[in-house]
Structure 1
Amino acid sequence: MMEQLYDAYLKHRSVTTDSRNCPVGSIYFALRGDRFNGNDFALSALKAGCALAVVDDIRIRNEPGCLFVQDSLKALQDLALIHRQKAGALIIGITGTNGKTTTKELLAAVLSKKYKTWFTQGNFNNHIGVPLTILSMPVDTEVAVIEMGANHPHEIDFLCRIAQPDMGLITNVGKAHLQGFGSFEGVMKTKAELYEFLKRNPGIVFLNTDNDYLKAMLGEIDSEVIRYGTGSECYVKGSNASANPFLSFDWEAGNVKRQQVSMRLSGSYNFENALAAIAVGVYLKVPTDDINAALGHYRPVNHRSQILTTDANTIILDAYNANPTSMAAALDGFEKMLHKKKVLILGGMRELGNESESEHRLLVNRLLTMKFEKCWLVGEEFSALVPLDARFSFAENGDELCEILKVKPFSNSLVLVKGSRAHKLERVTTYL
């Protein structure tokens, strides 16, 4: 059955799981969700132009154009594994609590200077997104950068078994998705599954030596480890990092003399993400000038570490996601920036389970030690935690804050906008 399916894939080279997006000649996989059954749309997908529909509903097993399997999702994953093994591309796996998407994009920008490079589009980094990423690789792909996300134990190991990475790196570990992982230790154990795969299937690990958690997670390893960070032992060594508001730093590596990089990316926390991209690039022999050019030309998107300049204010927009670790890093960086008038707009952090109230309380306590003009706390997570301090105000949601800012705008400020995606805080930038 899988041989037949792979032959069909090689003929069409296009797959979809969305019956609303059916390129002519593509293969439709009928997946099931909590609120939908993709099998219900298989026939309409065929009418829309799909060449084949992979289904697992016995009611339509004999319909023309349908290929019946026991589990459509597993068939998608198995097909991706077969293709990964036959395609011949070098696969680099990336995971981590924070920074994996930015690191993926920086790394792809660097590698594309020398290689035909493919990388995870958007946040397609789960048990469906990773197979789709592999199956969407162009025929001439030489290197693929695969982002792997997780919010429950064993998910990284599962994704590694599909993607079979030859190299890998973990950006960092922190307090995120605690509701699914149960604890910070659960986060560490799950992320470390990438290291464990590269130990079992000897591959190359890129390690941030400035991160003690990552060093402990790696432990003893027989395969090659490429170290990056600020220490003298590093293969790629960075120094003189600053972000006010744009990130700049120096780096050197072996016979590569000290280089200076200025980026259009905010946040000193992105220093380690840039060093990761440099380390892989140097190891894979991307020319030094090309590495620097790729980093200098990179422009963040999707509300991640973006600098927006309006007629009234300068905005640091980092509102794609938030957890205690990324929030602390954002505040650390913001605190170091030089500006006479600073404003914070912070949304609540999601998926923290039983730790939610305590983590938000810790955040508020941290804010009380900082110097700023104004701080808006947005979301129900903060409703009972707003300090009796004239600098602080509360809004139930982003829409309410937008209405307030329409009436009471401010100007000449450096504004940090940070929060979980559910709060959609990017909307407030219209009124800043």
Structure 2
Amino acid sequence: MKSIAELHQLFLKSSGACTDTRNIIEGSMFFALKGANFDGNQFAEQAIADGAKCAIVDDEKAWGDDSVIVVDDVLKTLQNLANYHRTYLNIPIIGITGTNGKTSTKELVNAVLCKGLNVCATKGNLNNHIGVPLTLLSMDEKIEVGVVEMGANHVGEIAELCAIAQPNCGIITNVGKAHIEGFGSFEGVKKAKSELYRFIESVNGTLFVNGENQHLKSMLDVGATIISYGSVGVDNVSCKEISNHPLLSFIAKVGEKDMRLSTHLIGAYNIENVLAAISIGMYFNIDVSDIKAAIELYVPSNNRSQLIKTATNQILLDAYNANPSSMALALANFIKLDHQNKVLVIGEMKELGESSIEEHQNIIDTIIKEDFSQVFLLGTSFSQVSCSDGSFAVFSTTLDLINYLKDHPIKDSFVFIKGSRSNKLEDVVKYL
């Protein structure tokens, strides 16, 4: 059986790591992972036929020749190889986690750092026990800094990801109510996210902290350099004179200088993400003018706070994810925006456990106080809560909503769409 060092030598001569035979890269190493409904060992032969240099399997009965390497556990081998490669590269790794905003912050940090450095950042949502190793293995010797997003839905997961990626810089964007089923409570969320702080502190690294967030400040210990950002009064980077109509613009105070920013972002809640990116850019000596340019050129994608104009409506699409914290912030922002005909399309929130009905009722209680032209609710969770005047339309599935919109078109409106990823509310856009 080959050692991790030997596998790493093979990896350096390959074109990278693959885990899906549908996306085999010529000359890559195929890792035969197993899941609830599949066994990658069964696809080793296909991977080699499609051009993989070798296949890493953990079933001795799998098809094999000299191109197949048997290990005890493919997933563990993938993680150990990624950790070995991270040590081999010996570059700064920035770990990013948080309840909300971690992907937006990651994208902004990547945009900023790319102005002066060779950067590799997590692609899409590859932020779990498989995605993090793949992100690390996508880095080559030209990369000067890595930006690694870390997601979690249970206590201990961030610690595991830190053990693999070994970040020496870190940021928790915020902590809020999400994945309560896995974390057990809000305190469980804080405990889980603070695992990043504990790791960075253990290596005497650097933490970027929203100095106004009391939850984050209470989670800090000692042993790390702290760089803070927030509103006026925070030492490193702060902001003032905020405008949000609907695109966000504000003045960031960087040291003693002002940076006027006009972004393609929507919602004041994005300010902390921008300030974090500025702080990290300054730490890595990116020129202030390049930081400004990177942030102003950044356009959100992947169904995250996208402003879309159709032939008949304006749409704010934020359908990548939803939890009580992000939903409250997004609704508060949309309520403040001026438009004569504002329409809501709200999908249910997932993984809330016993608090699900309460949290969905909170959304209803917020909406009912406002003067929206129409409100469409999606998912069984909303059918279990109380709406006093019965004026909201509730649909079981996205398809049901689409069929309704076909017969009852919406025109001349500003439509806000938000819900959990599983709702696939982005499919509604073409019918607006």
Give the TM-score taking structure 2 as reference length: 0.97
The correspondence of residues 241-320 of structure 1 with structure 2, limited to 5 A, is 241-255=242-256, 257-320=257-320
2:199 matched to 1:197? yes
**Partner AA of 1:243 in structure 2:** N
Q: Is the 8 A contact 1:61 1:68 kept in 2?
A: no
Deviations 1:313-371 (A, max 9, x none): 11110001100000001011111111222111100001111111111111111212222
- Provide the C-alpha distance between the structure 2 equivalents of 1:315 and 1:373, rounded to a whole number of angstroms: 14
Deviations 1:21-76 (A, max 9, x none): 21111001111111111111112111111111111112238633111111111110
Instruction: Measure how far apart 1:376 and its partner are.
Output: 0.7
Gaps of 5+ in 1: none
Please name the residue that 1:175 is paired with.
Answer: 177
2:394 matched to 1:394? yes
- Provide the C-alpha distance between the structure 1 equivalents of 2:401 and 2:6, rounded to a whole number of angstroms: 55
Deviations 1:367-409 (A, max 9, x none): 1222221111111111132524364211111111111111111
- Provide the C-alpha distance between the structure 2 equivalents of 1:390 and 1:311, rounded to a whole number of angstroms: 31
2:407 matched to 1:412? no
Instruction: Measure how far apart 1:138 and its partner are.
Output: 3.5
Where in structure 1 do 4 or more consecutive aligned residues deviate above 3 Å? 60-63
Instruction: Measure how far apart 1:242 and its partner are.
Output: 2.9
- Which has the higher mean CA deviation after the structures are superposed, 59-68 or 293-302? 59-68
- Provide the C-alpha distance between the structure 2 equivalents of 1:359 and 1:214, rounded to a whole number of angstroms: 23
- Provide the C-alpha distance between the structure 2 equivalents of 1:244 and 1:212, rounded to a whole number of angstroms: 29
The correspondence of residues 7-156 of structure 1 with structure 2, limited to 5 A, is 7-60=9-62, 63-156=65-158
Instruction: Measure how far apart 1:98 and its partner are.
Output: 0.7
- Provide the C-alpha distance between the structure 2 equivalents of 1:80 and 1:30, rounded to a whole number of angstroms: 15
Please name the residue that 2:371 is paired with.
Answer: 371
**Partner AA of 1:307 in structure 2:** L
Secondary structure at 1:376 match in 2: strand
Deviations 1:128-167 (A, max 9, x none): 0000000011431111110000001100011001111110
Q: Is the 8 A contact 2:15 2:25 kept in 1?
A: no
Instruction: Measure how far apart 1:193 and its partner are.
Output: 0.3
Deviations 1:194-233 (A, max 9, x none): 0000111110000001211111111x32321000000413
Q: Is the 8 A contact 2:361 2:386 kept in 1?
A: no
Secondary structure at 1:192 match in 2: helix
Q: Is the 8 A contact 2:357 2:384 kept in 1?
A: no
Please name the residue that 2:356 is paired with.
Answer: 356
Q: Is the 8 A contact 1:110 1:290 kept in 2?
A: yes
- Provide the C-alpha distance between the structure 2 equivalents of 1:325 and 1:194, rounded to a whole number of angstroms: 21
Secondary structure at 1:20 match in 2: helix
**Partner AA of 2:380 in structure 1:** E
Instruction: Measure how far apart 1:241 and its partner are.
Output: 2.3
Q: CA RMSD in A?
A: 1.3
- Provide the C-alpha distance between the structure 2 equivalents of 1:211 and 1:135, rounded to a whole number of angstroms: 34
**Partner AA of 2:375 in structure 1:** C
Secondary structure at 1:259 match in 2: strand
Deviations 1:267-289 (A, max 9, x none): 21111111110110112111111
- Provide the C-alpha distance between the structure 2 equivalents of 1:38 and 1:194, rounded to a whole number of angstroms: 31
- Provide the C-alpha distance between the structure 2 equivalents of 1:139 and 1:128, rounded to a whole number of angstroms: 21
Please name the residue that 1:230 is paired with.
Answer: 231
Q: Is the 8 A contact 1:346 1:419 kept in 2?
A: yes
How many residues get paired? 430
- Which has the higher mean CA deviation after the structures are superposed, 238-247 or 315-324? 238-247
- Which has the higher mean CA deviation after the structures are superposed, 384-393 or 284-293? 384-393
Q: Is the 8 A contact 1:235 1:253 kept in 2?
A: yes
Could you tell me the percent identity over the aligned residues?
Answer: 47
Gaps of 5+ in 2: none
- Provide the C-alpha distance between the structure 2 equivalents of 1:325 and 1:377, rounded to a whole number of angstroms: 18
Instruction: Measure how far apart 1:410 and its partner are.
Output: 2.0
Secondary structure at 1:175 match in 2: coil
Give the TM-score taking structure 1 as reference length: 0.97
Secondary structure at 2:259 match in 1: strand
